[in-house]
């Protein structure tokens, strides 16, 4: 298992991988085409079927109850994950993204797998970090010590009262919008749940396998950050 926490990754990673919390006026200025006013006070129950990415063998489901600018309740249940390892998990959204799960069409370097950054055009930036405790904004996207551990490969997660925040970023991490715009868009079926972390070489740990280092930072193996399962909240 990795001994060094991924929380040490720098600002460059945050700009590549996730949206950054900003003021509402700044988010609106960067995202003039973001949806406004759809289902403003509507409570919606959304479900996602999580399917494997990168041959992980993982599968599962996610269920979220969204009202106003809050996730009242969310559950994620998955199996087939790297056993006894932490798994970063997020809700992604971007109005410049496809808001769907990636395929090998996003494999830009042709190595036969989708790394985290290659998936951004499909699923968009992180807008919610599904941590077990504390902060749930994009700032916690790599807070590995606060993500669930898949005991025996099984992950069971639930949390209440997660507030959406105003977010914006760069490149494909742009276009997220205000908390209201993000909540409205997720209610409309544009939120994507992604679980990260898989064991390519089946050695029981996140190690520097043939896939090498993470594109996010060479100090970390690709196994720790590559997406393992994905599903769209409908």
Give the separation between CA 232 and CA 234, rounded to whole angstroms.
6
> 206 is written with which tokens?
């996140």
The secondary element (H helix, E strand) that includes residue 158 is strand 155-163
SS3 190: coil
DSSP for 116-128, please give it. Answer: TTTTHHHH--EEE
Give pLDDT tens digits for 175-219: 678 999 999 999 999 999 999 999 999 999 999 989 998 887 787
Angle formed at CA 66 by CA 62 and CA 67, multiple of 5 degrees: 170
Give the separation between CA 231 and CA 79, rounded to whole angstroms.
14
- Are 130 and 89 spatial neighbours (Cβ–Cβ below 8 Å)? yes
pTM: 0.84
Length of the chain: 234
Sketch the domain layout of the chain as residue ranges.
26-233
Q: How many of the other CB atoms lie within 10 Å of CB of 105?
A: 10
pLDDT at 174 (0 to 100) = 54
Give the separation between CA 206 and CA 60, rounded to whole angstroms.
21
- Ranking 32-36, 42-46, 209-213 by mean pLDDT, the lowest is 32-36
Inform me whether the pLDDT recorded for 12 exceeds 90: no
- Are 50 and 193 spatial neighbours (Cβ–Cβ below 8 Å)? yes
Mean pLDDT of the chain: 84
CATH architecture of the region 26-233? Sandwich (2.60)
Give the separation between CA 90 and CA 182, rounded to whole angstroms.
14
């Amino acid at each position: 298992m990795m001994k060094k926490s991924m929380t040490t990754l720098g600002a460059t990673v945050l700009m590549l991988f996730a949206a950054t919390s900003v003021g509402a006026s700044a988010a609106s200025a960067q995202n003039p085409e973001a949806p406004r006013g759809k289902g403003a006070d509507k409570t919606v129950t959304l479900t996602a079927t999580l399917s494997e990415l990168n041959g992980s063998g993982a599968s599962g489901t996610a269920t979220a109850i969204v009202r106003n600018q809050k996730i009242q309740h969310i559950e994620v249940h998955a199996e087939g994950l790297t056993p006894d390892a932490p798994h970063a998990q997020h809700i992604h959204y971007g109005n410049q993204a496809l808001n769907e799960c990636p395929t090998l069409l996003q494999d830009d370097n042709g190595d036969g797998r989708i790394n985290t950054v290659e998936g951004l055009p499909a699923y968009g930036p992180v807008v919610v970090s599904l941590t077990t405790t504390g902060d749930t904004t994009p700032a916690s996207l790599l807070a590995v010590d606060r993500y669930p551990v898949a005991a025996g490969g099984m992950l069971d997660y639930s949390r209440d009262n997660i507030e959406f925040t105003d977010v914006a970023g760069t490149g494909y991490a742009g276009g997220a919008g205000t908390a209201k715009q993000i909540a409205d868009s997720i209610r409309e079926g544009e939120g994507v749940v992604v679980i990260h972390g898989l064991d390519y070489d089946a050695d029981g740990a996140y190690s520097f396998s043939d896939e090498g280092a993470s594109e996010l930072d060479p100090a970390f193996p690709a196994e720790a950050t590559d997406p393992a399962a994905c599903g769209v909240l409908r």
